[in-house]
Amino acid sequence: MTKFGVQLPNFSGFDPADLFEHVAGLATTAEAAGFDSVWVMDHFFQLPPLGGPDQPMLEAYTLLGALAARTRRVQLGTLVTGVTYRNPGILAKIVTTLDVISRGRAILGIGGAWYDVEHKGLGVDYPSDRVRLDMLEEAVQVCRAMFTGDDVSFTGTHYRLDHARNLPRPVQAGGPKIMIGGGGEKRTLRLVARYADKCNVTGDASTLARKVDVLRRHCADVGRDPAEVAVTWMTPLILTTSSQNTVEVHEMLAAAAPAEETAGFTVGQPHEIPDLIAGHVEAGADEVIFSFAFADTAGITAVGEAFGLGGR
């Protein structure tokens, strides 16, 4: 059965004193509507499509811990953590704490990081693509080791742990699932095959089908059953109010960005969304994560009703 998630990327338009209650309301609405997971971005500056650094952004894990105390069922994670932002031993401790607070609902989403403006502004080193992927490979090994063991030593090129402790232990048996974000076919998806429980990709249905095929070949190369790796697909979702409004939004997107950048967007009225994403489910998406850039409780509820999630 296909799972469905909600990503909450936008924090604009609210007084700081009211902002968390707004976000918590969206998360609890998603849970009540039957969604399986709630995600936030791991960024410190807002991304350019949503207004850039002049717009507000909440720190991901502080927010997820608070949402864990407000929700009861949905899984919680970042889509995805930048490997450059936190030492992986500390990251494993943070995600374990989230797992404890949520009683076993944490997911570790992690990737190679990309937002160079953010790194420069905060004084965080931003090495080359190759080095960041090397860091990612070591980081997922460290996190897995700390999720499954309590006395961890590790020596790599970028990270070193000397009898690291992780108490209390995660609530989930084997620790939180690890999701690697990114669709790089030579390196990233091979890391997924070797180390991860999930991957997250974007793009249109044909792109997703190709990524799934590449992932399966990497799994075969490393001797892993591809059924052990769940494929999630994230799509920016723009809900419209009429057929004419849908046409207008598509025209706006075409004027704002190249077609390849918006190929994975989902635009339509709530009742149309199941048909619009059916091709991705057929292409291999085990979970569809809707990024609600303009989220409100009515829209989240309407999409949940369109898929009949409340009755599951």
> Rounded to an integer, what distance in angstroms lies between the CA atom of residue 298 and that of residue 71?
18
Q: Would you say residue 233 has pLDDT above 80?
A: yes
Lowest-confidence range among 84-98, 159-173, 251-265? 251-265
What would the pLDDT profile of 115-124 be if each residue is shown by its tens digit? 999 999 999 9
Give me the mean pLDDT over the 254-281 stretch: 92
Lowest-confidence range among 35-39, 229-233, 254-258? 254-258
Where residue 39 falls among pLDDT bands split at 50, 70, 90? very high
Range of the domain at 262: 3-311
Say how many domains are in the chain.
1
| Residue 5 β-bridge partners | 37, 289
Q: What is the pLDDT of residue 260?
A: 84
Helix (H) or strand (E) holding 191: helix 188-195
- Percentage of the chain beyond pLDDT 90 is 93
Q: What is the pLDDT of residue 257?
A: 84
Helix (H) or strand (E) holding 236: strand 230-239
> Rounded to an integer, what distance in angstroms lies between the CA atom of residue 208 and that of residue 233?
8
Q: What is the pLDDT of residue 100?
A: 98
Residue 38 · residue 31 · CB < 8 Å: yes
Does residue 40 have a cis bond before it (omega within 30 degrees)?
no
Residue 115 · residue 82 · CB < 8 Å: yes
Question: Whole-prediction pTM value?
Answer: 0.95
- Percentage of the chain beyond pLDDT 70 is 99
Residue 153 · residue 164 · CB < 8 Å: yes
**Do strands 160-164 and 152-155 pair parallel, antiparallel, or not at all (unpaired)?**
antiparallel
Q: Would you say residue 311 has pLDDT above 80?
A: no
Domain containing residue 255: CATH number: 3.20.20.30
Q: What is the pLDDT of residue 310?
A: 78
Neighbours of 180 (CB within 10 A): 28
